[in-house]
Amino acid sequence: MTLYNKDGSVYKLSSPNRLMRTQTLWEKDHIFYNLDWLGKFEQILFEINKKLKKIEAEEQGFLYQEVEAKEEIEENSIEEVQIEEEILVKEEPSLEEIFFSKEEPKKETIVEEKPKSVPKLSSELDKTFVFCLPAFYEDRKDDLYGDTYKSLKYGNAFSMEAVIISQNDLCLEIWTNVESIEKGSVLYPKTGFKRWWKVQQKKPKAQGWVLTMIPSDFHPSFDGI
């Protein structure tokens, strides 16, 4: 397929350089000038290794001189020391000293005992009046499929005394010796905050129980208790 210019003439490629007509072969060094990276890299490595060997030789010479200096100092500082053994002659007491010597009365050292800290009894702790709606779980069986499941039930409300350990907007911890309070029970401390709490965890502690509670969405009434 022939290519044409805009004026309709036939498009021709640029002809070779005229100087190349008389040149039969290019110089090899000029052709591969940019490709001789291996030789240059070897030359650079040779120079680097040469400098490193020189530095190592200088360091070894310096260390050798330093070791010799230390040995000379140690040899000069060593001195022979003669240790004279002292012989102690224990003198025996005379008869007069034995018979007429008076024994000094021994001083009695009085040790003052520090009073032991007595733990507070449950009757001495600051207690809070608390209303409680105890919860318990009842096993039930599905009549249709025969599956068993647990249903949450509430017993009769009562009041008790407890000790508040810690309290914030999201958690309340109290100590009580009432054993019948289980997980899911609802408590209402009479502290003026007017908040209901649901038991989440129960742990034994100091002949009683520590109850950890969160805010409850169930607000039973404790009127008449």
For residue 19, being part of any structural domain is answered with no
Q: Is 39 helix (H, G, I), strand (E, B) or coil?
A: helix
Question: In the listed set 63, 83, 116, which residue is the last one of a domain according to the structure?
Answer: 63
pLDDT at 3: 83
Question: In the listed set 63, 81, 110, which residue is the last one of a domain according to the structure?
Answer: 63
pLDDT at 37: 59
pLDDT at 75: 64
* Residue indicated by tokens 């009085």: 110
For residue 162, being part of any structural domain is answered with yes
Angle at 152 between CA 162 and CA 217, to 5 degrees: 65
pLDDT (mean) for 10-35: 68
* pLDDT above 70: residue 27: no
Are 142 and 96 within 8 A, CB to CB?
no
* pLDDT above 90: residue 142: no
pLDDT (mean) for 188-208: 92
Question: In the listed set 37, 63, 89, which residue is the last one of a domain according to the structure?
Answer: 63
List the CATH number of the domain containing 199.
Answer: 2.40.10
Beta bridge partners of 174: 164, 211
pLDDT tens digits, 33-66:
565 556 666 777 778 888 888 788 777 766 656 6
Q: How many domains does the chain have?
A: 2
pLDDT at 121: 47
For residue 146, being part of any structural domain is answered with yes
167 by Cβ neighbours in 10 Å (0-12 / 13-18 / 19+) ranks as middle
pLDDT tens digits, 88-112:
555 666 545 654 555 555 556 665 5
For residue 89, being part of any structural domain is answered with no
For residue 41, being part of any structural domain is answered with yes
pLDDT (mean) for 137-148: 85
Quote the mean pLDDT of the chain.
77
User: Which range of residues forms the domain containing residue 152?
Assistant: 128-215
For residue 178, being part of any structural domain is answered with yes
Rounded-to-integer distance, Cα 177 and Cα 186, Å: 16
For residue 141, being part of any structural domain is answered with yes
For residue 204, being part of any structural domain is answered with yes
